[in-house]
């Protein structure tokens, strides 16, 4: 804050004639009335004079300070070296210039931009020191406020990304010089967008502040934690650190978030994903370290969140591919590159068409067809599946009505519902709105839910299924046999149909285990009053076996591939 600047001043004898012409009264009035703070001391530093501006600024009166030393204004903010340099300068006969942080009579701090000039008589001897100055507190405070704003995140009080980059670059230089390691952790809250959307931004902000507070207090003082923006925090662990140390810190950070956050009297559970990159093993530049940790964080999120991942090069390749796919999908949705196809389902006893399953297709203008097995999981993670699923549903319902208007007899249309859709609080009202809008009767709609989606959160799934059932739609378990269902849950879910997974059907009828399993599934379904549809039927032998087991329905390339709505209509018998 204080700067020392010195300049030698020589006594000027020629000026005397001019000053002699001015009356002493004017000179002393100038001193008294000037807006600058003036203090005159003797050579030993005893105060002999202060003006009005001094009194106004410091709160000390002339009589209080006479004979005292200027150190009665000391704030303690400058050390002894500072004062001894000041005295050395003026005792040499040089001028001191600098900003001094002083203390007023009421103990408040002010900043004085000061010049101290030694008064030298005709013999070249210093007789007094004259200090003149200005109170520059306002400027200094504005400057420091601006500095604070530039380097600090206003919401959380943590360093912001600018300060983070500054500290990280210093830490890298230090680690380089001392052959040390360091770790960069990217921490991002899981599903914060949902919290923010449902609670509103004020409570979302409160949550971020509380999270920041807990994280900060979990770390040591010499670790840096900064807010990188949104719900993303970056932690810098200075070396030496190895993987075990970092794991311990990551676990401490997770633990700090386990207790619920109370917002507006409500408890909220928050989890986070952490990506880690290490200097120098993974990367040596700031940019790469940050990018590496970001990629690892993305990977941790992709694996379901609430976990940490260390960066690796292979991961980077995978993640970048996946990010590209995400961006393409976003564009694809906007540009209407996705559409429904329909695969027929037949009743085995009568060989009549009983339904069609709507399946989503994506034709990318450059990459061509992209399989739903690739893009559905992406849409599930990004949340795009909600919009996509709604489109598939309303399009499928509308399509069934259109086909019927053309005279096609088709009792059911099946639509796949993703786990994310099933756990969405509005799912049943969305479905019933769609039915009303399209004019389709509820029991013509079959919603297919994979076994694993049902078993992820069985209690929650049961609640959603009951609501959907109360609308009157039919419910079916998809890919049955792949998701470790608990039979007791299966009994409690209001299901109408089981779809036997293709992996069992493809081994029929020669593989004994597959045959026994399919027979058992059909028996079990019937005992629970559910019907069975076999997926992926490709051969006559499979079809025959399924007919013999009493399986009600079949779907597969043998009977019809997924096709456009027009092809579907033209291939069916009316």
Backbone angles phi, psi at 380, to 5 degrees: -65, -45
Q: Which entry of ligand C2E, Mg ion, none binds 94, CB below 5 to 8 A by partner kind?
A: none
Binding partner at 181 among Mg ion, ligand C2E, none, C-beta below 5 to 8 Å by kind: none
Site string for ligand C2E, 509-548 (x = CB under 6 A): --------------------------xxxx----------
For 92-124, b where at least 16 C-beta lie within 10 A, e where not — what string?
ebbbbbbbbbbbeeeeeebbbbbbbbbbbeeee
Question: How many beta carbons lie within 10 A of that of residue 315, not counting itself?
Answer: 18
Please choose which of Mg ion, ligand C2E, none residue 557 contacts, taking the beta carbon within 5 to 8 angstroms, the exact cut-off set by kind. Answer: ligand C2E
Of residues 8, 371, 405, 570, which one binds ligand C2E by CB under 6 A?
371
Residue 380 CB, nearest approach to ligand C2E (Å): 8
> Quick one: DSSP state of residue 187?
E
Q: Residue 336 CB, nearest distance to ligand C2E (Å)?
A: 15
Phi, psi of 276 (to 5 degrees): -130, 130
Minimum distance, C-beta of residue 254 to ligand C2E, in the bound complex (Å): 31
Residue 280, preceding bond cis, omega within 30 degrees? yes
CA dihedral 418, 419, 421, 427 (to 10 degrees): 120
* Dihedral-angle region of residue 306 (phi above 0 means left; psi in -120 to 50 means alpha; beta otherwise): left
Residue 566 has which token pair?
A: 């027009």
Q: Is 448 in the site for Mg ion (CB under 5 A)?
A: yes
CB of 479 to Mg ion, least distance (A): 4
**Measured between alpha carbons, how far is 128 from 479 in angstroms, rounded to an integer?**
97
Q: How far is the CB of 378 from ligand C2E (least distance, A)?
A: 12
> From ligand C2E, Mg ion, none, which one binds at residue 180 (CB under 5 to 8 Å depending on kind)?
none
CA distance 60 to 44: 20
Angle between helices 384-405 and 372-382 (to 10 degrees): 120
Q: Which of 412, 478, 490, 533 binds Mg ion (CB under 5 A)?
A: 478
| Beta carbon of residue 499, minimum distance to ligand C2E (angstroms, whole number) | 7
Q: How many CA atoms does the CB half-sphere of 187 hold within 13 Å?
A: 28
Per rule CB under 5 A, is residue 552 in the interface with Mg ion?
no
Of the residues 12, 222, 373, 459, which one makes contact with ligand C2E according to CB under 6 A: 373
Q: Does 479 bind Mg ion (CB under 5 A)?
A: yes
**What does 239 bind: ligand C2E, Mg ion, none (CB cut-off 5 to 8 Å by kind)?**
none
Q: Decide: is 565 part of the binding site for ligand C2E (CB under 6 A).
A: no
* Nearest residue (CB) to ligand C2E, 31 versus 563: 563
Tell me if 416 contacts Mg ion by CB under 5 A: yes
Q: How far is the CB of 316 from Mg ion (least distance, A)?
A: 33
Nearer to ligand C2E, 316 or 478 (CB): 478
Its sign, for the CA torsion 359, 363, 367, 368, is positive
87 or 557: CB nearest ligand C2E: 557
Work out the angle between the directed axes of helices 201-218 and 192-199 (0-180°, nearest 10): 140
Which residue is listed with tokens 């493809």?
Answer: 506
- Rank residues 114 and 420 by Cβ distance to ligand C2E and give the closer one: 420
Of the pair 113, 479, the CB lying nearest Mg ion is at 479
Nearest distance from C-beta of residue 533 to Mg ion, angstroms: 9
Tokens describing residue 111: 């900043």
d(CA 329, CA 138): 54
Of 367, 308, 307, the closest CA to residue 337 belongs to 367
Contact between 557 and ligand C2E per CB under 6 A: yes
| Residue placing its CB nearer to ligand C2E in the complex, 132 or 418 | 418
Q: Are 165 and 159 in contact (CB under 8 A)?
A: no
120's tokens: 């030298």
**CA-to-CA distance for 559 and 351, rounded, in angstroms?**
10
Q: Which stretch binds Mg ion (CB under 5 A): 14-22, 90-98, 175-183, 475-483?
A: 475-483
The closest alpha carbon to 238, from 292, 183, 289, 186, belongs to 183
- The piece of 129-137, 167-175, 218-226, 552-560 that touches ligand C2E (CB under 6 A) is 552-560
Q: How far apart are CA 106 and CA 451, in angstroms?
A: 74
Selected from 196, 394, 416, 464, the binder of ligand C2E by CB under 6 A is: 416
Using the minimum distance from each CB to Mg ion, give the nearer residue, 164 or 533.
533
Does residue 556 bind ligand C2E (CB under 6 A)?
yes
Residue in 414, 522, 419, 420 with CA at minimum distance from that of residue 473:
414
Stretch that binds Mg ion, among 137-145, 195-203, 404-412, 534-542 (CB under 5 A): 534-542
Rounded to an integer, what distance in angstroms lies between the CA atom of residue 119 and that of residue 116?
Answer: 10
Give 8's strand partners.
94
Q: What number of chain residues touch ligand C2E (CB under 6 A)?
A: 23
The least CB distance from residue 359 to ligand C2E, in Å, is 4
Residue 353 and residue 553: Cα distance in Å, rounded? 9
Pick what 188 binds: Mg ion, ligand C2E, none; C-beta below 5 to 8 Å, kind-dependent: none
Beta strands in 379-530 (DSSP E): 412-417, 445-450, 474-480, 497-500
- Rounded to the nearest 10°, the torsion over CA 456, 457, 460, 465 is 30
State which of positions 51-80 bind ligand C2E (CB under 6 A): none
Binding mask 450-479 for ligand C2E (x = CB under 6 A): ----------------------------xx
Closest CA to 135 of 97, 102, 105: 102
Residue 263 or residue 333: which is nearer to ligand C2E going by CB? 333
Nearest distance, CB of residue 376 and ligand C2E, angstroms: 5
SS (H, E, C) 32-75: HHCCCEEEEEECCCCEEEECHHHHHHHCCCHHHHCCCCHHHHEC
Q: At closest approach, how far in Å is the CB of 393 from Mg ion? A: 13
Please give the residues from 310 up to 369 whose contact with ligand C2E meets the rule CB under 6 A. 343, 359-360
Residues at the interface with Mg ion (CB under 5 A): 416, 448, 478-479, 535
Residues at the interface with ligand C2E (CB under 6 A): 343, 359-360, 371-373, 376, 389, 392, 416, 418, 448, 478-479, 502, 535-538, 555-557, 562
């Amino acid at each position: 804050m204080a700067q020392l600047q010195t300049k030698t001043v020589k006594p000027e004898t020629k000026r005397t004639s001019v000053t002699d012409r001015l009356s002493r009264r004017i000179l002393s009035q100038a001193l008294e009335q000037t807006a600058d703070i003036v203090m005159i001391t003797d050579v030993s530093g005893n105060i002999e004079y202060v003006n009005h501006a001094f009194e106004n600024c410091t709160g000390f009166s002339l009589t209080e300070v006479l004979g005292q030393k200027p150190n009665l204004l000391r704030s303690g903010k400058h050390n002894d070296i500072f004062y001894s340099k000041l005295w050395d300068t003026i005792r040499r006969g040089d001028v001191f210039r600098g900003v001094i942080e002083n203390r007023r009579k009421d103990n408040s701090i002010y900043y004085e931009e000061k010049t101290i000039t030694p008064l030298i008589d005709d013999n070249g001897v210093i007789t007094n020191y004259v200090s003149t100055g200005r109170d520059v507190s306002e400027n200094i405070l504005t400057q420091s406020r601006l500095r604070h704003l530039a380097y600090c995140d206003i919401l959380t009080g943590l360093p912001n990304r600018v300060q983070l980059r500054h500290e990280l670059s210093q830490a890298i230089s230090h680690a380089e010089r001392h052959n040390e390691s360091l770790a960069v952790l990217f921490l991002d809250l899981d599903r914060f967008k949902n919290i923010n959307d449902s609670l509103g931004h004020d409570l979302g902000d409160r949550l971020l502040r509380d999270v920041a507070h807990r994280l900060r207090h979990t770390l040591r003082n010499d670790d840096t934690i900064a807010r990188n923006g949104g719900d993303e925090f970056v932690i810098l662990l200075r070396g030496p650190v190895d993987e075990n140390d970092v794991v311990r810190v990551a676990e401490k950070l997770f633990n700090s978030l386990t207790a619920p956050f109370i917002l507006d009297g409500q408890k909220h559970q928050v989890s986070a994903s952490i990506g880690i990159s290490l200097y120098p093993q993974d990367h040596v530049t700031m940019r790469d370290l940050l990018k590496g940790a970001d990629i690892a964080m993305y990977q941790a999120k992709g694996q379901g969140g609430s976990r940490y991942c260390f960066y690796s090069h292979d991961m980077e390749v995978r993640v970048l591919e996946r990010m590209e796919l995400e961006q393409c999908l976003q564009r694809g949705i906007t540009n209407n590159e996705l559409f429904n196809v329909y695969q027929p389902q037949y009743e085995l006893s009568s060989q009549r068409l009983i339904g069609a399953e709507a399946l989503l297709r994506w034709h990318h203008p450059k990459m061509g067809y992209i399989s739903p097995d690739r893009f559905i999981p992406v849409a599930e993670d990004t949340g795009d599946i909600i919009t996509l699923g709604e489109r598939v549903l309303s399009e499928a319902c509308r399509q069934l009505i259109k086909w019927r208007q053309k005279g096609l007899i088709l009792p059911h249309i099946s639509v796949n519902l993703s786990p994310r859709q099933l756990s969405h609080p509005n799912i049943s009202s969305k479905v019933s709105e769609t039915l009303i809008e399209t004019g389709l009767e509820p029991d013509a709609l079959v919603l297919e839910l994979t076994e694993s989606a049902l078993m992820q959160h069985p209690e929650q799934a049961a609640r959603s299924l009951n609501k959907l059932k109360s609308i009157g739609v039919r419910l079916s378990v998809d890919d049955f046999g792949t998701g470790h269902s608990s039979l007791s849950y299966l009994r409690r879910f209001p299901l109408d149909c089981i779809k036997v997974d293709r992996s069992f059907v493809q081994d029929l009828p020669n593989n004994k285990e597959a045959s026994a399993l399919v027979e058992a599934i059909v028996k079990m379904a019937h005992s629970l009053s559910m019907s069975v549809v076999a997926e992926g039927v490709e051969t006559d032998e499979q079809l025959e076996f399924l007919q013999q087991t009493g399986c009600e329905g079949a779907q597969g390339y043998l009977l019809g591939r997924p096709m456009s709505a027009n092809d579907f209509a033209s291939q069916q018998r009316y």
